[in-house]
Structure 1
């Protein structure tokens, strides 16, 4: 028993013949008869009977036809409720982000959506390996994820839009001899101690590329994922590191220098399941993320210069 079959039964009671129902619903009489047979199989009592050459409703059929009116009314109300929910401008929107993206984007979003009639944000930090980001779309409306330009693409089960293509720079103490250079090569930095992310996180591929181009194994002394902690370790002389140019907070004792000869750039993407954007509030937050990304990119799109620390969005 489904909505279409109940609708046919209702129309048969009102119009009085299979051919009239077929004409009203713009289908063939045989299609109507088939749906009536399928409906009959699901019930233990006859719903129709012959009255001369016509098929009419039995008393049981009439009772079910009356119930069909109630079913259609309830379904219409349900659809209207869903439409109202989907069109709410101030609905709840859940958003997860890895740490540096959260540091940069979350404050911009909160300021943009302050006040009544705006989406109500539910924010969370999620620092996971790259392959885990798509899984988070089960629990959140939107997920900020990162991957390297040459890394594997996101699965087709999620929709992905790129917000930023962010350069990765070498971070070193402001007084380090290499800070006098405007650009660094893998050979310049390969003999230094290094602070890297844990295995399985995107930036590790760039660190490995530095070692490959320099043709030597890097001395990795610390493993830290949180970039604010990394900046503090670099400032204290704990080693060199890769830091994103736009989403790293400025540290007065850390300098960033561009790196040549390796592809040092990451994508910051927003992931979501396709059905999430049926809601107006989610679409509003998604549009604001793109606007914020443009602001971050245009505010500080130039490479760092000697004597300056990390730039932030």
Structure 2
């Protein structure tokens, strides 16, 4: 944790961290919530930091507050300051084992189902830190801001969407996971081994809310087909979507590795051609937190769990392969 009493030249690392949070959250109120302080405390820290520079660091845009170019440059420098201090703390922590801290991990719903049980199984393993798991099912653009509250944020995006902000975050890959078209085994398209966007024209869909990976991918499918896809239900929970697919004639996009569907649900999968269908499942971590031994231990554990999912396909994936007609 950054200590307000530590000085680096004329700058206070705590004030720098406040500026950094403001850049991530876009308002004094949201920054205050992220830091667990009052809005007036945030304003005072920003005012104190501003007095040390001639160039303005912030500017108002409507109801939000954004960083100027000078403010953004200083916020990037603040990351390096925070990382240096944390690395020094971690060096000392090595002498006492280095895992005496709680590691907070957030994940979107399907990732939570895939990764959190594995972390829970390691709870009483010697040399494994205490882990707090939290389900945070947010849209794609909201994941980076979660790193203010969590050591590790498991996030997802499609290949064709903007990359994560690597200038202020460490981005560590967990999975590159294809999204397949799910349907009942009696659906006309189940006779095909693979599908193309034009095959999906005129079908009806169970998709997620806008900003989530399946909705992003369905937009790309529609663009490739040259026709809109008709969405009749908006369901973020993949298990619910699969259960609905098993009872009707709708289609859904489901991840290949991280969703388990009971074999009793007569759902088959078909891969898509001619469109990017890969979902990136990544760990977003602030650079200064990666150096903590406790955090690195949990990162390694998550990578091991991810590898297990790839090497041992779910029942749903196996059933889909066997159901080709």
TM-score using structure 1 length: 0.68
State the alpha-carbon separation in 2 of the partners of residues 80 and 112 from structure 1. 23
Aligned to 1:236: 247
Which shows bigger deviation, 204-213 or 100-109? 204-213
Do the aligned partners of 2:144 and 2:164 also contact (CA within 8 Å) in 1?
yes
Q: Give 3-state SS (helix, strand or coil) of 2:160's partner.
A: coil
Higher-Rg member (1/2): 1
Aligned to 1:99: 109
* TM-aligned CA distance change 1:80 to 1:190, over 3 Å: closer
Q: How far does the alpha carbon of each residue in 1:250-282 deviate from its partner, in whole angstroms, 9 at most, with x for none?
A: 232211111111111110000111111232111
Aligned to 2:257: 246
Q: Does 1:222 align with 2:210?
A: no
Instruction: Identify unmatched segments of 5+ residues in structure 1.
Output: 6-77, 309-313
Instruction: Identify unmatched segments of 5+ residues in structure 2.
Output: 10-87
Q: Does 1:275 align with 2:288?
A: yes
Do the aligned partners of 1:168 and 1:265 also contact (CA within 8 Å) in 2?
yes
Q: Does 1:129 align with 2:139?
A: yes
Shift in Å, 1:91: 2.8
Shift in Å, 1:87: 4.0
Q: Does 1:191 align with 2:196?
A: no
Shift in Å, 1:209: 1.8
* TM-aligned CA distance change 1:223 to 1:3, over 3 Å: closer
Aligned to 2:151: 141
State the alpha-carbon separation in 2 of the partners of residues 216 and 79 from structure 1. 56
Q: Give 3-state SS (helix, strand or coil) of 1:105's partner.
A: helix
* TM-aligned CA distance change 1:237 to 1:87, over 3 Å: same
**In the TM superposition, what are the counterparts of 1:1-313 in structure 2 within 5 Å?**
83=93, 87-155=97-165, 156-237=167-248, 239-252=250-263, 253-300=266-313, 304-307=320-323
Do the aligned partners of 1:90 and 1:117 also contact (CA within 8 Å) in 2?
no
Do the aligned partners of 1:172 and 1:235 also contact (CA within 8 Å) in 2?
yes
* TM-aligned CA distance change 1:255 to 1:80, over 3 Å: closer
* TM-aligned CA distance change 1:154 to 1:269, over 3 Å: same
* Alignment size in residue pairs: 236
Do the aligned partners of 1:182 and 1:305 also contact (CA within 8 Å) in 2?
no
Q: Give 3-state SS (helix, strand or coil) of 1:305's partner.
A: helix
Q: RMSD between aligned alpha carbons?
A: 2.9
Aligned to 1:69: none
Shift in Å, 1:4: 11
